[in-house]
Chains A and B, each alone.
Chain A
Amino acid sequence: MTMTCEDFELELGAPALSALARAHLEGCASCRETYEVVALAALPEVTAAERAALVGLSTSALSAWRAQDRRRDVLSRVASLALAAGLGAVLATGVMWKARPAAVAEVPALVQPVAAPVLLEPVVPDFSGDAFNSGDDEVSWEVSWPLVTEGDL
């Protein structure tokens, strides 16, 4: 049984070449070139130093996750308070508007600066998980559920 060049190429990246692939490699110059290029492109085996760098990662990642959650909770509370304050200000403005002396209404320059429309829509940032990754907009977008399938041939 023999192997085609296409089949050989698809074995690259597998943990080890099959006996068939090795036999094909012996007799095919094109695949030897392919093999050499992929070997140049591949990174070396993971070293002991690299493995050592992963020690304790699960603990530090969990701490980072919890810190992130705490930050999110605080910001959510701040946002709620800001929203409540904004609504309160709008209500207060309405009450003051109704209670204003009639004479004030006759002086337009004093009335116009009341900026009620701004208070009606307070800017509340989005404190969902995505918002924390301001530098990774693309990532957040691309992992939305379900996975997007753009870019197919």
Chain B
Amino acid sequence: MPGGAGEPPTDGALCRAFLAGDAQAFGELVRRHEELLLRVLRRYASTLDETRDLVQRAFLQAFQAARRALPRLAREADEVPFKPWLLRIAINLGKNHLRDTSRWATVPVDAAEGRRGEGASAQELLERAEQEAAVRKAVLFLPRRQREVFTLRIDGALPFAEVAQALGITEGNAKTHFHHAVKRLKEETRKP
């Protein structure tokens, strides 16, 4: 595996190593990004199994994209932008999954279980859950770019620079889309 005793290998180096036959590099890349992908993709899935399946498919497609692109990255120093590809593939897979299943996820079941017992009354919990469901549904109905930026920022907790890189837009545009997304969600919650 690339890297050795010094700095950990970059995503690009691991990706190249895997495509050259190093199976360990594949595992390392998956472990490095699997939780991020889970956080991004669970918004689009109804069950944990679905989320896991989407995460796996995102990795496979990212490696395919890398394999196609590698011959065009002539020099060894050309970095394979693996993480941006992975994120971009993930949000598209999520969106396609939603479209294909025609279901609107609100919150993963297991995660909802974890919210209970914080001292609030049953009525308060119910109201809160309804508000959450409404706002999360509104997130999925945001215009495409706003939804992509908002979810990568909020679910992925990514810096705007990385959000922008994943979507192939400028950092300034990513911030503008985020602002419009927040504004729209605020307007939605004010509706009676």
Query: A interface vs B, CB < 8 Å?
Result: 6, 9-10, 12-15, 33-34, 37-38, 40-47, 49-51, 53-54, 57-62, 64-65, 68, 128-130, 133, 135-136, 138-140, 142-145, 147-153
A61-B56, A136-B61, A151-B169 known; A47 vs B185 contact (CB < 8 Å): no
- Nearest CB on B from A2, distance (A): 19
With contacts A142-B92, A151-B169 known, is A64 near B56, CB below 8 A?
yes
Closest CB in chain B relative to A39 CB, distance in Å: 9
Task: Let me know if B112 and A68 touch, CB within 8 A.
Answer: no
The dominant DSSP class at the A interface is helix
Q: Which residues of B contact A61 (CB under 8 A)?
A: 26, 30, 56, 59-60
Q: Does B136 contact A (CB under 8 A)?
A: yes
A-B contact pairs, 16 of them (CB 8 A): A10-B178, A13-B153, A37-B186, A38-B182, A41-B136, A47-B110, A53-B52, A54-B35, A57-B34, A58-B26, A58-B31, A65-B26, A135-B96, A136-B61, A143-B65, A143-B89
Contact residues of B between 137 and 176, Cβ < 8 Å to A = 138-139, 144-145, 150, 153-155, 157-158, 160, 167-170, 173, 175-176
> What B residues does A44 contact at CB under 8 A?
107, 111-112, 114-115
- A135-B96, A151-B169 given; A34·B186 CB < 8 A: yes
Assuming the contacts A145-B72, A149-B169, asked whether A46 and B136 have C-beta atoms less than 8 A apart, the reply is no
CB A138 to nearest CB in B, in angstroms, measures 6
**Is A10 a contact of B60 with CB atoms below 8 Å?**
no
- Please, how many angstroms separate the alpha-carbon atoms of A14 and B175 in the complex? 13
Of the candidates A54, A129, A135, which one forms a contact with B55 in the assembled complex, judged by CB atoms under 8 Å apart? A54
Quick one: which of B52, B62, B69, B84 contacts A54, CB cutoff 8 A? B52
Chain A residue contacts of B185, Cβ below 8 A: 37-38, 41
Establish whether residues B111 and A59, one from each chain, have CB atoms under 8 Å apart when the complex forms: no
Contact check: which of B48, B57, B138, B179 meets A53 at CB < 8 Å? B48
Instruction: Tell me the complex Cα distance, A50–B57, Å.
Output: 17
Complex CA distance for A51 and B132, rounded to whole angstroms: 23
Residues of A contacting B57 in the complex (Cβ-Cβ under 8 angstroms): 136
Least Cβ–Cβ distance between B125 and chain A, in angstroms? 13
B68 contacts chain A at the CB level, 8 A cutoff: yes
> 1/0 per position for B37-58, CB-CB distance to A under 8 A?
0110011000011011001110
How far, in whole Å, are A135 and B112 apart by their CA atoms in the complex? 30
Name A14's contact: one of B52, B67, B157 (CB within 8 Å): B157
The CA-CA distance from A63 to B137 in the complex, in Å, is 35
Residue of B56, B64, B110, B153 near A129 (CB, 8 A) is: B64
Q: Which residue of B lies closest to A60 (CB)?
A: B56
B108 & A62 in contact (Cβ 8 Å cutoff):
no
Considering the complex of A and B, which 5 residue pairs feature the smallest CB-CB distances, nearest first? A129-B64, A58-B30, A58-B27, A147-B168, A13-B153
Q: Known: A10-B160, A49-B48, A51-B35. Contact between A136 and B59, CB under 8 A?
A: no
